[in-house]
Amino acid sequence: MAVRSQASPLVLAACLLLALTGRLRAEPCGAVYWGQNAYEGSLRETCATGYYKYVLLSSLNRFGHGRIPQLNLAGHCDSTNGGCTFLSSDIISCQQDYNVKVMLSLGGPYGNYRLASRKDARNVAYHVWNSYLSYSSTDRPLGNSALDGIDFDIERGSTDYWDDLARFLSAYSTPDRKVYLSAAPQCSMPDYYLQAAIDTGLFDYVWVQFYNNYCEYSPDDVGTFVQAWNQWTSTSVSKVFLGLPASPEAAAAGSGFVTPDELIDSILPIVKGSEKHGGIMLWSRYHDVIYGFSPQVKNHVCPDRMASLLSMRVRPFMKV
Cβ partners under 8 Å of residue 308, min gap 6: none
Would you list the DSSP string of 278-311?
Answer: EEEEEE-HHHHHHH-HHHHHTTTSS---HHHHHT
Q: Is 262 a catalytic residue?
A: no
The three-class DSSP label of residue 122 is helix
Distance CA 129, CA 124 (A): 8
CB 202 within 8 A of CB 178: no
Exposure string (b/e) for 175-210, b if CB count within 10 Å is 16 or more?
eeeebbbbbbbbbbbebebbbbbbbeebbbbbbbbb
Q: Which helix (H) or strand (E) holds 90?
A: helix 87-97
CA of 247: how far to CAs of 26, 42, 227, in Å? 24, 19, 25
Which of the residues 27, 40, 45, 155 is marked catalytic? Answer: 155
Strand boundaries in the chain, DSSP class E: 5-6, 30-34, 52-64, 67-73, 77-78, 101-108, 112-113, 149-154, 180-183, 205-209, 239-245, 277-283, 318-319
Distance CA 254, CA 108 (A): 16
CB 79 within 8 A of CB 73: yes
Distance CA 88, CA 113 (A): 25
The alpha carbon of residue 242 and the mean position of all alpha carbons in its chain are separated, in whole angstroms, by: 10
Distance CA 123, CA 237 (A): 26
Per DSSP, 267 falls in state I
- What is the set of active-site residues? 155
